[in-house]
Amino acid sequence: MITLILDGYNVIHAVPQLSRQLDRGLQPAREALVRLCEAYRARRGDIGHIYVVFDGRDDEFAGASEQPRGRVTLCFTRAPEEADQRILRLIEAERPGRCVVVSNDNEVFNNARAYGARVISAQEFVQQMQPARPVKASRARPRHDPEKPMLSVPDAQRITDEYRRHLEGKTRSRRLRSS
């Protein structure tokens, strides 16, 4: 089973149907995201658990860092931890190869990939909720520019390993500073 981890506020702001809920407040937007997650899980069938991570600086959530809602858990961070850091901790706690992170944030995207998770954008997440439409052959585009050279698998692995070591060094230095 796959563990899905969402960068909560990032997804809310990136998806128009969710960001419209912000006019009513943060709580209605969070609830709309939970409903979307539940529908996504029901549609997919291979999702074991979903974590939605929020920066929990709201006074409303000062006492509760996690709120389980069935197979969806809302996670609210407390200073000095940020949502980005909690997402990485969740990936480490789960089996990284079985984690999918939903975010449009480049730092979250790169860090999650370096930790072994698969990453999709908020738009891809929502598109997967829509019924599949056939692609016309004339509109089909190659995934990459054939003129642009691609990295070899060993080079890509080397870059990922170097980036992972870089992130681990940053994490260690943050821990030392906070001690």
Tens of pLDDT along the chain (179 residues) come to: 899 999 999 999 999 989 999 999 999 999 999 999 998 888 888 999 999 999 875 545 445 578 878 889 999 988 788 898 999 999 999 876 899 999 999 999 999 999 999 999 999 998 887 655 555 555 545 455 556 666 677 777 788 888 888 888 876 766 667 66
Token pair 């080079």: residue: 155
Indicate the fold that domain 2-131 takes in CATH.
Answer: Rossmann fold (3.40.50)
pLDDT at 101: 95
Parse the chain into domains and list their residue ranges. Answer: 2-131, 142-179
Please state, in angstroms and rounded to a whole number, the distance separating the CA atoms of residues 78 and 70. Answer: 23
Closest CA to 98 of 38, 48, 161, 167: 48
pLDDT at 6: 96
pLDDT at 29: 94
8 Å CB contact between 102 and 120: yes
Through-space distance between the first and last CA atoms of the chain, rounded to whole angstroms: 36
Residues 6+ apart with CB under 8 A from 92: 115
pLDDT at 117: 93
